[in-house]
Amino acid sequence: MQDVYLYFENGLFLQGKSFGAAGTSVGEVVFNTSMSGYEEIITDPSYAGQFIIFSMPEIGIVGTNPLDMESRAGFCKGIIVRHYNEFHSNFRSINSLDTFLKSQNILGIAGIDTRSLIKTIRNNGAMMMIASTEISNQQELKNKLEKSKNIQEINLMPEVSTKTPYKHKHGVFDFNTFEYATPKTHKKIIAIDFGAKRNILNELCAVGLEAEVMPHNFQALEIIQRFKNGEIQGVFLSNGPGDPLMLKDEVEQIKLLIEAKIPIFGICLGHQLLAIAHGYETYKLKFGHHGGNHPVKNLITQSVEITAQNHNYSVPEEISQIAEVTHRNLFDNTIEGVKYKHSPIFSVQHHPEASPGPKESNHLFKQFANMI
């Protein structure tokens, strides 16, 4: 392990030990409270442009394998851990985390007091940072960070979204047979890829929906025509990274889908984009919600569901003027789900597909299938 140097927007300067890729990276730093599933987290496209601090102090022991990847690559800038385990021991492990990060060109940073750093983020909010195995001078790191774009100024869609449409037909992975289920599909939908996790597509297929995945720069008129012809029965808007207010072209296309009364289900970024398309702009949370253990109250059933989360933005309370609030976050009471009053549209902020995390909210996929 070679030395790695970290400089944060608030002036904090730290030194750690690197694993994974070497080099210099700039990004926003957030923390994740999940106790397991680090490979799924690293390959969640919603972390594009970000450094992830893991609150779990021991990382690396279960290694990595292709089946646990949630997208075609890892899009985060780097990960920060208390202690990295090079020795990996799991019957599914193919490579060490170090080898995996090198293959993805992602920085790994160990030997950091992550408990203290997470408290700093909790108190000061998410901030930009720079990490380097090449630059050790604090002032040089500061200058480079100040010249870099803030994550809110970067459109990450071209990086994470698919370039060409494709069809997704297999369901959830069966760990007994080590094969993907192939459920019978009875409806077809368009899934807009803003950085979709693979398990979202698996869950859609598991409830009988064949998904044709389209890029972020989709054309709504084409989808509307196919809906009118009966070729497709609904649209899904996926999760993804960055500030939703950056995606003005995508919002304009979503407005056309709304006007056409097409059934729509949105998750995370899709949830936020639907709010913006209805005229209610999102706002940034202090440090966001990232982890697999966040309680959300389902206001329809009055039950509490433990959920997986990964977002820095939230929809405003004013949206209740046109939508029924269906879910609330029990940590800060922010809106976690809405059902629009005059349209066949609903959305949630959390991740019902989990991976990693609990599956207590995956009934929402069945709800979408029933609606269409």
39 phi and psi angles, rounded to 5 deg:
-70, -40
Q: How many helices (H) and strands (E) does the chain have?
A: 10, 21
Q: Give the strand pairing for 173-174 and 179-180.
A: antiparallel
> What positions carry a catalytic annotation?
268, 351, 353
Place of tokens 């490979």: 39
> Can you tell me the distance from the alpha carbon of 257 to that of 92, in angstroms, rounded to the nearest whole number?
42
The pair of three-digit structure tokens given for residue 331, joined into one six-digit string: 């940590």
Contact indicator for 8, 111 with CB cutoff of 8 Å: no
Contact indicator for 128, 145 with CB cutoff of 8 Å: yes
HEC secondary structure over 137-198: CHHHHHHHHHHCCCHHHCCCHHHHCCCCCEEECCCCEECCCCEECCCCCCEEEEEECCCCCH
The residue type of 314 is S
